[in-house]
Amino acid sequence: MPPANIVVDLSHFNATLDFTAARQSGVVGVIHKVTQGTQYRDPLYLSHKSKASAAGMLWGAYHFGVGADGVEQGEHFLNTVNPDVQTLLVLDFEANPQGPSMDLEQARAFVTHVQDVTGRFPGLYGGHYLKQLLGTNTDPILANCWLWLSQYGPTPVVPPNWSKWTMWQYTDGAAGPLPHEVPGIGRCDRDMFNGSEAELRFFWVSAALAQPVASD
């Protein structure tokens, strides 16, 4: 069965949205930026969550990691999200264009803190930067996180730390394979799920109920 192209990820950069139109087009899940570093909060997170939930969409929250204490970033993330059993949690692990980037030690501290508090490891979003830092090595702590691969080429290449990708961000709305747009949203980050819609729904609930899908 081919992957399901039914997830988008958003932030305050996606300001004018019609979640009902997006849902009617087949999009099932939304993963939204909520925090960055130890202080920043996305100003549109709560309003977008309310509208997406009203449209019947699955909801997730991600934290953009920076070069700062991993536990403090994890606390900031969880205190802001206050996650319920329906919220998918993710660490966005990529190079920071505005300052110091999160390193592997800080990422380990972040995901371990989230697991200690919630009983579940978050997903790990990463692409070239993650592959660059890991090289051919494996990381047993980060391997507990399901992999959300960022890669805009035609074929996803998974780091040795995982056997497969769970989600694949194949476009940022400009680069990568088509389609780039979503009705009601426009050009945006679009994501494949490595399974069917039914499997996505099962995964979302399982990951959010402290039953992490480890070592994908």
The whole-number pLDDT of residue 202 equals: 94
User: CA 96 to CA 159: how far, in whole Å?
Assistant: 20
Provide φ and ψ at 210, rounded to 5°.
60, 35
pTM, whole model, 2 decimals? 0.94
Chosen CATH of 4-208 out of 3.40.50.300, 3.40.640.10, 3.30.830.10, 3.20.20.80? 3.20.20.80
Instruction: Find all residues with CB under 8 Å of 130, minimum gap 6, and list them.
Output: 93, 94, 124, 159
Domain segments of the chain: what residues?
4-208
In whole angstroms, what separates CA 93 from the centre of its chain? 10
- The single-letter DSSP state of residue 101 is B
Residue 216 pLDDT grade (very low, low, confident, very high; cuts 50, 70, 90): very low
Q: What is the mean pLDDT of the chain?
A: 94
Please give the angle made by the CA atoms of 33, 108 and 155, to the nearest 5 degrees: 65
Residues 6+ apart with CB under 8 A from 108: 70, 139, 141, 142
Contacts of 26 (CB under 8 A, 6+ apart): 5, 6
Phi and psi at residue 41, to the nearest 5°: -130, 135
Going by C-alpha positions, the residue among 183, 204, 186 that lies closest to residue 195 is 204
Is the predicted pLDDT of residue 102 greater than 60, yes or no? Answer: yes
Q: How confident is the model at residue 215 (pLDDT cuts 50, 70, 90)?
A: very low
Give me the pLDDT at residue 207, please.
84
Q: pLDDT per residue over 160-179, tens digit each?
A: 999 999 999 999 999 999 99
